[in-house]
Every structure is written in C-alpha cells, then in structure tokens.
Amino acid sequence: MSKLTLKITLFYFLGILAIFALSSAVVYNMLEHQQVGSELNRLQDRGDSHRNVLSTNADRQTIQHVIMMEEKAMTDVIIVGKNNQLIGSSNEAGRFFQQDWIQKKDGIVAGDWRAGRFLVTISHADNGIKVVMLEPTSYIQHLMRELKQQVAFSLFLLMLFLLGSVYFLSYMVIQPLLSMKEATIKLTKGDTLKIKEADRKDEVGDLARAITKLSIDLQHIQNTRKQFLTSITHELRTPITYIKGYAGLLQKDETRFGDIIYEESERLQMLIDDLFELARMEEPHFQIEPEPTEMNGFLQQISERVQLKFEEKQVRLVLNTSKKNLIKHIDHARFNQVLLNLLDNALKYTPAHKSVFLKLSDQQIEVSDEGGGVREEALPYLFDRFYRADSSRNRDTGGTGLGLAITKEIVEAHNGSLTATNAGNGLKVVIDLRGISG
C-alpha cells in the first residue's frame, strides 16, 4: 500500500471509527438509562397502584387478588403487614425478601441492574402495609445484550463500508496517481506516455491528459534537439578540418599565430567530437555491445594504460582490486571510455605528489582523488552537459564540459548508476554495478 493511500485510509478509517464509537457509547448509555428508568418508573407505578387498593381494603381476599394479578406478570409483589411480617407474595417471591428493604421510604430500593438480581421498589400504605415490587434484572440484561449486538452489527456494516470506500478511493484516485507517477518516471527517460486514465471525464482524466500532452511536447523538443545536435556537428566538422589544415601550414612559418589557431582548432575538434558522441548516444538505434568481463583484470588493464600519464604529472595512481572475481557484461570500448574519462578528470585536478585511487569492491567501482573536491551545491549538477563546478578554472583543465555527461550516459546505458560525493580531501565518483548483469 502506498504512503498516501495508507495515510488517507488510516485518517478516514480511524476518524469514522472514533466518531462511531463515541456516538454509539453516547446512544447506548442514553438508551440504557432510559430503559432502566422506564422499568423502575413502571415498577413504582404498579406498586403504588397496589398500595392504593390495599390502603382502603386490606382484607385477605383483596390481598389474594393483588397477588393473583402479579402471578402471570413479569413482575412480582411482596406484601408486608404492620408488624413487618410477610403477608403474601406472588410466585414465591417472598424467599428473596430482605428486611432492610422496608426500612426505606417510597421509591427505588435496588436499581443496579448489572450487579443485582432484581429491580426493587417499595410503596408504603397509610395503614402500615408495605408493597414491595420486584422485577428480574435478566430482562434488562437481555435488552442490553440485544442492544450491544445491534451496535456490533452496525460496526460490522461500517467496517464493510470503510473497506469498500478504501477500495473505491484506491481504485478511483490513488491508483491513477501512482500510475501517473510511474509514467512521469518514464517521461524523464524520454519516452512518450500513454496513460490509460486519460479517457476519464473527471479531474484525474484532466491531469492524465495534461501529462500526456506534456510528454508529447517534450518528445518533440528532444527530437528537435537531437536533430539539431546531429546536424550541427556534421556541419562543423568540415570547416574545422580546413582550419586545422591551414593552421598546420602557418606553423611552418614559425609564427605564434599558427600555434594559437591550431590549438584552438584542436579544442574545437574535441568539442565537436564530444557533441557527436552525445548525439550518437541519443539516437534510437544506439546500442552497447556487452560481453562477460572479469572486472579485476579489466581495471588492471586500465591502470597500466594510464600509468605513464600519471607519472608524468607525478601523481600516484593506487589500484585496489576485489578479493573475489566479479563478472559483469559490459561494452569494453564504452567502459574504457568511462574509466579513462573519470581518471583523466581526477588527474587534472590532483596536484603533484598526491594520489588518485581506483577501487573495486562490493559491486562498485570508485575513482577518488586528493584534488580538494567541489562545492556541495555543485555536486547534483556535476554530470550535466557543459556544467563546470568552478567557472574560474583555466582552459588547460576546463575540458569541453561534456566528458562527465558522456560518462553518465554510457553507465546508464549499461543499467548502472553514477554518483559523486566529496570524501576526505577530494572528490569520489562511484559507479554502481548492481544493475549490470553478471
């Protein structure tokens, strides 16, 4: 269950449950007091009625008549004489008689239906006769049990309603949002979206249609940019070739102008080559050609290849390989380009007599240097095209600004990932190999 669904479900479920529980408790208590009060009032009125009869005529026949009236009723009567002696009772209720009952005034003697066996009221006649009325609390308890069952059944229906509401909420609102979230992830990869919720006629459908239109517009922009990048690189290559050729002729005249033109044409050639490389990677038919590779040996070859360049700058290259053999399916030429780019970048910014580290461990390749690192706010943009973490860097170390962008494209084409962090006194770039098949 998604976080949003869980939050909404819990809020919705607990809120309604709390309201229902509180209202049920209030209604239950109200009905309980009302029912018990009604029973006690009815019992008291019945006792008062018998007392009024016995006040005017308390002969044996009248007493028997009162007792007979209660024999078939749910209630029972106990009649006590002037000397507090039991005169008679219905259904042998006299065996439950307690002397302390008659010491109380008219009204309720026992009203606790939970703990007591009977509800008891007493009515005193002017001639000294006392009429005690009893009603079994089992009747009240039965009513309260039925009321609790009704509350429980209502709670069950509420639970079903909530489950249905959660399903409706998830199906109609949350699930489409999650679907659109997944679609927007594809959008970042340049894919054209087709969201099924776009057919809906509500606000969710409006959002889906807006995202779909956005994806189409972005796809158009990306295609236009790719076409422009491919065209401009092809168009620039021819004049650069001529410039380099004629600059070579000027160099023979031993003038500084020929050297400057040649150096700048070389730099422009590098930029065009990098642009052309990016344009190739963004074409739909671009593919890598992976093959099983033992990564320890692969890094060893890379290290030996660049060792001379590091020695010329008096920078130490430290290689740390894994104790276990790690096999990954990689494109040799492309991954060579990745590691050479990263090592070249580390070498550029590492002072003499410092170190650059190339390490393979735990499904990761790490390239770290002692070049002082970069500003923290620059790290998220380090692999963006033409981005430079330090705009004041000179032309000798600045490069084209596309090397790390190309590196990122190649690693992601292998289903790997690339991250950069400041570690110690330098920059550490990590290639995560877990997504690359082995």
Burial-class residue 313 by CB neighbours within 10 Å (0-12, 13-18, 19+): middle
The H or E element spanning position 87 is: strand 86-89
Average pLDDT over residues 65-78: 89
Mean per-residue pLDDT over the chain, rounded? 81
The H or E element spanning position 307 is: helix 295-312
Furthest-apart CA pair in the chain: how many Å? 154
The model's pLDDT over 231-253, given as tens digits with 9 standing for 90+, comes to 666 666 667 777 777 667 666 66
Whether the per-residue pLDDT at 350 is higher than 80: the answer is yes
Task: Provide CB contacts within 8 A for 163, sequence distance 6+.
Answer: none
The model's pLDDT over 280-301, given as tens digits with 9 standing for 90+, comes to 666 655 677 899 999 999 999 9
What is the pTM (predicted TM-score) of this model? Answer: 0.47
pLDDT, residue 203, reads 74
Is the C-alpha dihedral spanning 162, 165, 169, 170 positive or negative? positive
Higher pLDDT pick, 100 / 6: 100
pLDDT, residue 394, reads 44
pLDDT, residue 254, reads 62
User: For the ranges 112-126, 172-186, 361-375, which has the lowest average pLDDT?
Assistant: 172-186
Whether the per-residue pLDDT at 111 is higher than 90: the answer is no
Q: What are phi and psi of 170, to 5 degrees?
A: -65, -45
pLDDT, residue 286, reads 65
Higher pLDDT pick, 259 / 309: 309
